[in-house]
Amino acid sequence: MSVYTPAETARRSGFSLDTLRYYEKIGLLADIERTSGGQRVFTDDDLGWLGVLRCLRDTGMPIAQMATYAELCRAGADSEPERLALLRQHAVRVEEQMQLLGRQYAHLEEKIRYYAERTGARSG
């Protein structure tokens, strides 16, 4: 298997059909093949690229920046240093995000322990 229907692609990528169309419209997805009748045909390469988009999206990159990255990827090998810079910048933000999340999770745990003791004490 190496080509997929829109529905199958949605299932595999985790993006809805509407989102796939939207991503194509705004340039995150380019050169998607079509049948003679005009229906989209996705390849393994497309799925790979969707995996990249999912990674960026899951780590909180704004769509606009993903579009920038997509364009750099289309621009050829000369843009690789720029792509690297963009990803490195993003990675820094993700690290900060992970640290914040970890800190706040610790607070949450603390609160849970507090309530668990109180309710445990009363009910037991």
Partner DNA sequence: TTAGGAACTGGAGTGCACTCCAGGTCAAGG
Partner DNA sequence: CCTTGACCTGGAGTGCACTCCAGTTCCTAA
Indicate whether 92 belongs to the interface with its own copies (CB under 8 A): no
Indicate whether 59 belongs to the interface with its own copies (CB under 8 A): yes
Please give the size of the binding site for DNA, defined by CB under 7 A: 21
Indicate whether 71 belongs to the interface with its own copies (CB under 8 A): no
Q: How far apart are CA 92 and CA 98, in angstroms?
A: 10
Q: How far is the CB of 37 from its own copies (least distance, A)?
A: 36
φ, ψ for residue 9, nearest 5 deg: -65, -40
> Quick one: which H or E segment has residue 3?
strand 3-4
Could you say which of 41, 52, 63, 67 contacts its own copies (CB under 8 A)? 52
Could you say which of 3, 12, 16, 93 contacts DNA (CB under 7 A)? 16
Q: How far apart are CA 35 and CA 38, in angstroms?
A: 5
- Give the type of residue at 51: G
Nearer to its own copies (CB atom), residue 7 or residue 85: 85
